[in-house]
Amino acid sequence: MLLLAGLSACGGGNSDSSTASSSTTTPSTSVTTPTPAPVPVIVPRSTSITGVAATGAPLLGAQVRIVDATGTAVTLQDPAGSTIASVKTSTADGSYKAVLASPATLPLLIQAAGVDGSGVPVVLHSVLATAATPLLSHITPASEAMLAMVLGGSPRSIFSNTGANAQNIALLSNTTALNGASDQLKSILKNNFSDIKLPTGTTVAALDLVRDPNFSAIRTGLDAVLEGVRIMAVRDASAGEQLQVSNKFVTPGTVEVTVNLATAAAELLKGTSGNVASAVTSTLKATTSPLKTSLPNLETIDALSATINSRITQRTTGAYVDAVTSVPASYLQDGRTKNALKTKFADYTTKNLQLGRWQILGCADDPYVPGKTCIKFRASALVVNSVGDVVDVFGDTLSIDTAKPPNWILSGNGRSNEVRASQVAQATFNLDGSQPANGALPASGLQLAVRAQDPSANRARTVVSASVQVPSGYGVRLVYCGIPELCVSTGSTSVAATGELSDALLQKTPGWVGSQDAALGAKLAVTVTPCALPCASTPVAATAETVNVYLTAKPISDLGIGLFPKLDTPLSIDSLNHDLLLSWGNWAASNPDMRVFTVRLVTPVANSTPLIQDFAPTSVMKTSLFIPAPASAITASQLWLGAVDSLGRSYYSQLKSTP
């Protein structure tokens, strides 16, 4: 038909009929056959996809969801045959099995949302690009980095709006681009890979970072590499979306290698002619490695939690603290004594709770000396009940004893009080969740939390005062104000707590704290003067101690209202006067990389400081909380919801009533 149409057009366009009839040469024509569209690869119903979700330590109880190449959410099937939207990873090893309830078109974008060993929210992604068996897809920071380079940005934004991003998901069928991203990541981590042992017969070049059949969260191979590095896809206000990679044991807040994700995606799409290395914008092209110098016995770390769990199962409350884990008599962890440690483990025993795998968070040596061998390690483990719910996070300082073979032990950090600093943001709402008429905008700042009371039930005072010196050279004083943390003072030795975020907010404008003092990697020198216990109403000071606190995230620049925690049901003063079940499930579903960790109720009291009540969800990933009715009726109050994101930054919603 194309040929006939072409001949007809030639004949009709020539008005000289004699010339046309005298021609004896037949014009040559060529027909271009259009390239057929690739045939979609369909994974049939009842197909099983398996893998492991891990950040070094396994992600326990994380929700795994899948979307296909059309941007459609893939429904899954539980063992009873019912259709479900997601499956959970195992609370034993982070493994998952997703059985498709309907056919799905490759490639599949897979998301795991949960919390890491420190309770910080984690959302990671991976891909199933081919139908080659076994259908295996591990979900780790390595797979997240690969996808970020191919997509040119965080996979999280693609997954949150898949209907509008089907074209982006289709990019993940480009195995050449995926392999190129894998090779670039291996190049960045080459020092880390050189310090670990791979299974016999396996080379780094041949290692599949997504489909390795030997991968598991047991501190060997790729998992050991992941334990020693920090990999994050972040949005930078000035440089666009970036991949940031660094050794966990460099000075906190340090980023060693930075990859511009837009450039990486553009180069990967060029295939073999692309230069992905040009996307590395940092001076350092490969991360340093802590494995040989600081973590030579990483494989044995989980024996510590296994020993503790064994004693809990045997219902032995304190003996293992004295003998099995070799806890020294001088043990002290952020004010927790050896006896308090026994009490905590006794509580775990009574409730039949177990410790999950340990996660190494970094070096606990203070002052920190870059490049030196770490002696003490900041570490934490999730605490899981018998039905698999994560109900607590147990944090401590670990070290390695001199026994043969060496054992990991709880050694404590020797600090009499807990000190934390974090980037924070606050948005104010009416009690019903609506925005106030005055249009108050969200604001950000820097919060310093110095624990002032014993964390046990008696809440006894433990500290006299504290001061912090910021990088710009100025100092800020903090004093006791009757609540769990010290309050910032402008000079007075006595401050009345308001229960609001401003009690512990350092960054104020104008003031003594500037932008450099809240920058990534900023060091705050905090001097704490504890009480000579017991702490009387007129406390006697004990020996002061100074600790360095480093900021591990940039100041919050994204102040979108949707990031601040929101309740499913509007509140009123009447509802606060009754038993109240707060729920924020809808907000949590829209923000899987965040979790609510605290709720505070502040009620005015005539001629006195307000009544301040703090609550916490009974499970780390729970999206509801019960507050009992007050003893007497209230006519005004404010409710605070505090949420933490994957970078450890906090977003607070202040819901205020009108008296």
pLDDT tens for residues 459-487?
889 999 999 999 989 899 999 998 999 99
Q: Where are the domains of the chain?
A: 43-293, 318-410, 419-425+439-550, 561-656
Q: What are phi and psi of 62, to 5 degrees?
A: -75, 150
Determine the average pLDDT of the residues in 4-14: 38
**What is the rounded average pLDDT for all residues in the chain?**
88
Give the model's confidence band at 40: pLDDT under 50 very low, under 70 low, under 90 confident, else very high: confident
Q: What is the longest distance spanned by two Cα atoms in the chain?
A: 120
Buried b (16+ CB within 10 A) or exposed e, 30-61: eeeeeeeeeeeeebeeebebebbbbbbbbbbb
Give the model's confidence band at 340: pLDDT under 50 very low, under 70 low, under 90 confident, else very high: confident
C-alpha distances in Å from residue 312, one per residue of 91, 292, 315, 345, 392: 17, 33, 5, 8, 16
Tokens representing 354 are: 């177990």
Q: Return the number of other C-beta atoms located less than 10 Å from residue 132's C-beta.
A: 9
Q: How far apart are CA 172 and CA 260, in angstroms?
A: 19
Residue 16 has pLDDT above 50, yes or no: no
Q: Give the chain's end-to-end CA distance (angstroms, integer).
A: 81
pTM to 2 decimal places: 0.90
Q: What is the DSSP letter of 120?
A: -
Q: Cα–chain-centroid distance for residue 69?
A: 26
C-alpha distances in Å from residue 20, one per residue of 7, 8, 14, 339, 435: 12, 13, 7, 108, 80
Q: What is the DSSP letter of 468?
A: E
Residue 26 has pLDDT above 70, yes or no: no
**SS3 readout for 353-379:** CEEEEEEEEEECCCCCCCCCCCCCEEE
Percent of the chain with pLDDT over 70: 91
CATH topology of domain 561-656: Immunoglobulin-like (2.60.40)
Could you report the per-residue pLDDT of 229-275, keeping only the tens digit for each? 999 998 876 668 999 999 999 988 899 999 999 999 999 999 989 99
Q: Mind giving me the DSSP string for 68-91? A: -TTSPBPPEE-TTS-EES-EEPPT
Residue 121 has pLDDT above 70, yes or no: yes
Quick check: 640 and 625 in contact, CB under 8 A? no
Residue 248: which of 280, 290, 215, 220 has the closest Cα? 290
Give the model's confidence band at 342: pLDDT under 50 very low, under 70 low, under 90 confident, else very high: confident
Could you report the per-residue pLDDT of 488-530, keeping only the tens digit for each? 987 777 788 999 999 999 876 556 677 888 899 999 999 999 9
The reported pLDDT for the residue numbered 317 is 52
